[in-house]
Each structure stands twice: as C-alpha cells, then as structure tokens.
C-alpha cells in the first residue's frame, strides 16, 4: 500500500461522502477497491498526485471483480466458475457507477 497524499485523501473522502465503500480487495493489496452496490473498480495513485482508475468498472461476482463475456447469445459477468447474466438492469447499474466514479474522481 502506498502513502496517501492530501489530495488523494480528499478524493477518497468525496467518494465516501457519496456513499461509495472503499476497501482493499485481495489479491489487489496495492490498490483500493471502490464499490457501490454490486459494482466495483480499483483505484491507485496518479502521476499528478490524485487517484486514477487501475481497472475498468466491473460487476462483483462472489465478491470478486468479474470479466464480461459473450456466450450463447447472452452477456455474462464471470469470475472463475461463477457467473451472473449481464441483464439490462445490471449493465445500466454498471454504467451509472462508471459515470459516478469518473465524475467524483474528476477524470
């Protein structure tokens, strides 16, 4: 884990004030996991001193970041052998999360 700067602390506080949860997600101990509902992404230090996205926002499956796959004419959020269908509602939730996180981090 890195030492959090004053600017990074302000960004994290802004995220928390908006109801996002911040934690460490194994095996990504060198990043912070930002979650809202069933969506999450990894953030870390940016060159300019703030925070940047280290992973694309994703749906949590079994408490882990998932990959989105297309199979059998449908899309799925998958982590190892676990999967959930990428329904229109879940894709919309993920899109809202991505917009929110980008706005709050001023990307």
Confidence class for position 20, pLDDT limits 50, 70, 90: very high
Going by C-alpha positions, the residue among 46, 40, 7 that lies closest to residue 24 is 40
pLDDT tens digits for range 49-94: 889 999 999 999 999 999 999 999 999 999 999 999 999 999 999 9
Identify the residue with better confidence: 61 or 4: 61
| Total Cβ atoms within 10 A of residue 38 | 16
Q: Residue 105: what pLDDT?
A: 83
- Average pLDDT value over all residues in the chain: 92
């Amino acid at each position: 884990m890195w030492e959090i700067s004053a600017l990074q602390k302000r960004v994290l506080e802004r995220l928390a004030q908006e109801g996002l949860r911040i934690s460490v997600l194994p095996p990504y101990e060198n990043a912070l996991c930002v979650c809202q509902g069933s969506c999450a992404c990894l953030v870390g230090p940016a060159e300019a001193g703030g925070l940047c996205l280290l992973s694309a926002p994703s749906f949590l499956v079994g408490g882990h970041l998932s990959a989105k796959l297309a199979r059998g004419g449908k899309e799925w959020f998958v982590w190892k052998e676990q999967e959930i269908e990428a329904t229109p509602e879940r894709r919309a939730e993920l899109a809202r999360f991505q917009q929110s996180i980008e706005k709050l981090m001023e990307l």
